[in-house]
Amino acid sequence: MSVREVTVAIVGAGPAGLATSACLNYANVPNIVLERENVCASLWKKRAYDRVKLHLAKEFCHLPLMPIPPSLPRFVPRVDFINYLDDYASSFNVELCYNRTVESASYDKTTGKWRIVVKNTEPVLGEYEAYIAKFLVVATGENSEGVIPKVPGLDGFSGEWMHSSLYENARRFVDKDVLVVGCGNSGMEIAYDLSSNGANTSIVVRNPVHVLTVEIVYLGMSLLRYLPMSIVDNIVVLLSKLRFGKMSKHYGIERPKEGPFSFKEKTGRTPTIDVGAMDRIKEGKIEVLPAIEKIKGDVVEFEDGEKAHIDAIIFATGYKSTVRNWLKGGEDLFNAQGMPKESFPNHWKGKNGLYCAGFSRKGLAGISKDAVNIANDIVSSYTFDNCH
Ligand SMILES: Cc1cc2nc3c(=O)[nH]c(=O)nc-3n(C[C@H](O)[C@H](O)[C@H](O)COP(=O)(O)OP(=O)(O)OC[C@H]3O[C@@H](n4cnc5c(N)ncnc54)[C@H](O)[C@@H]3O)c2cc1C
Ligand SMILES: *[C@@H]1O[C@H](CO)[C@@H](O)[C@H](O)[C@H]1NC(C)=O
Ligand SMILES: *[C@@H]1O[C@H](CO)[C@@H](O)[C@H](O)[C@H]1NC(C)=O
């Protein structure tokens, strides 16, 4: 097995890994990024549906040291964001090691270093490499793997089903009865996409959810700079009521009792940003249904006893972190679900040179903060080590 010694090993070449590497390069700290796919930003290049745009205005989405070009629209489309990330990686000379799946990482007390074992998946499948690093940055994402809930009878479902991360567009679903499960951003946007492109679409909504517009979120985020969260929450809910009215009456959807920003802080669940699905629900073009009870053949039964013939199910039921599958130790930093134990802003640093970037549930703005904090922290101990 080949062994390579590096100062900092970063796992994952999404925005979090790229941002951390850029900040380290800027400070002349040697580092590499290990990525299982053959591209950077794979979530955006391979796992996002065609019509996706950044939901947040661009001033909340840039990475450290490089603004998003002023020529781009306030809500940046997917391709432009991908170009920005590619530019970012090359501008800061990020050293990307592709086709490298990290299978384990453990801390060696005697050397005081991390040993990272990587499977090289291309061009020589199955070849292993080891990397020895003083610092290990986990940047594998909150969204590493799609979650599909256990549904009785799903195995025997005669139609097609998939996780939302594999949904590309409505082409295959024209004239089909399609059920979308989940009313987060992915679920509502996919339901809209299906319904406005010829699929007979229904959506399962199980929990209360805040539905806002991009403009309301933008206003709320801007106000948060000057006003306390409770006041901003009240303003935002008022605007949502003006826009959508009584949600349970018109849409069959409940609002949570807490306001959107406090709800997000408490539960980690982001408000859903409407891209047009709400109007289609109100017009009766998208049907809102309760949780699935069971599936028999091509018939889905719901909790209220209703039954419907369904050709395809898209599970927009979220993602999970997978760091626990490969990281040995690090219990000081991560819980059993692979999310930080400490809450924001104390979530990013563990013991023995272990860090995590991109796990604060605060989107790209949170990622930028993590990258800067981690790089500064490494710079101070690295410089210190080198002078003594
Ligand atoms: C559909 C969708 C839309 C979103 N829209 C927005 C938005 O508008 N604004 C916003 O702020 N946030 C948004 N987000 C949040 C999103 O999580 C961030 O934008 C961002 O992509 C997360 O970056 P990351 O680097 O933490 O993780 P990721 O982008 O998921 O990158 C992690 C990388 O690690 C790699 N990896 C995982 N495991 C291993 C392993 N064992 N070995 C090697 N490599 C590995 C993966 O292949 C991946 O490339 C959205 C998320 C989704 C799913
Ligand atoms: C990664 O794999 C792809 C094929 O999937 C190949 O074209 C590319 O050269 C590989 N990159 C590295 C760095 O091995
Ligand atoms: C659309 O799907 C629903 C089930 O979700 C079904 O009740 C309805 O009959 C379907 N409509 C058409 C026109 O097929």
Quote the pTM value. 0.88
**121-158 exposure pattern, b = at least 16 Cβ within 10 A, e = fewer:** beeeeeeebebebbbbbbbbbbbbebeeeebeebeebe
Q: Which of 175, 179, 201, 202 to probe ligand 3 with, by most ligand atoms within 8 A of CB?
A: 202
Residue nearest to atom 12 of ligand 2 (CA): 98
CA of 239 to the centre of ligand 1 (A): 30
CA of 159 to the centre of ligand 2 (A): 35
Residue nearest to atom 12 of ligand 3 (CA): 200
CB 215 less than 6 A from any atom of ligand 3? no
CA of 272 to the centre of ligand 2 (A): 37
CA nearest neighbour of 354 among 331, 380, 325: 331
- The whole-angstrom separation of Cα 189 and Cα 183 is 9
CA of 49 to the centre of ligand 1 (A): 14
CB 18 less than 6 A from any atom of ligand 1? no
Pick the CATH number of 146-315 from 3.40.1390.20, 3.30.1240.10, 3.40.190.10, 3.50.50.60: 3.50.50.60
CA of 216 to the centre of ligand 3 (A): 33
Ligand in nearest proximity to the CA of 201: 3
CA of 211 to the centre of ligand 3 (A): 25
- The whole-angstrom separation of Cα 308 and Cα 315 is 17
CB 38 less than 6 A from any atom of ligand 2? yes
Query: Ligand 2, closest atom to CA 97?
Result: 13
Residue nearest to atom 1 of ligand 3 (CA): 200
CA of 255 to the centre of ligand 1 (A): 28
- The whole-angstrom separation of Cα 171 and Cα 166 is 14
Which token pair is 139? 């940047």
For β-strands 354-356 and 211-212, DSSP reports them as unpaired
Please check whether the two domains, 2-144+321-386 and 146-315, share a CATH topology: yes
Ligand in nearest proximity to the CA of 311: 3
The CATH classification number of 2-144+321-386 equals 3.50.50.60
What are the boundaries of each domain within the chain?
2-144+321-386, 146-315
CB 61 less than 6 A from any atom of ligand 1? yes
Digits of tens for pLDDT over the chain (388 positions)? 899 999 999 999 999 999 999 999 999 999 999 999 999 999 999 887 766 778 889 999 999 999 999 999 999 999 999 999 999 999 999 999 999 999 999 999 999 999 999 999 887 777 999 999 999 999 999 988 999 999 999 999 999 999 998 998 999 999 999 999 999 999 999 999 999 999 999 999 999 999 999 999 999 999 999 999 999 999 999 999 999 998 888 888 999 999 999 999 888 889 999 999 999 999 999 999 999 999 999 999 999 999 999 999 999 999 999 999 999 999 999 999 999 999 889 999 999 999 999 999 889 999 999 999 999 999 998 866 655 4
Query: Ligand 3, closest atom to CA 289?
Result: 5
- The whole-angstrom separation of Cα 51 and Cα 131 is 38
Kind plus residue range of the DSSP H or E element containing 235 = helix 229-244
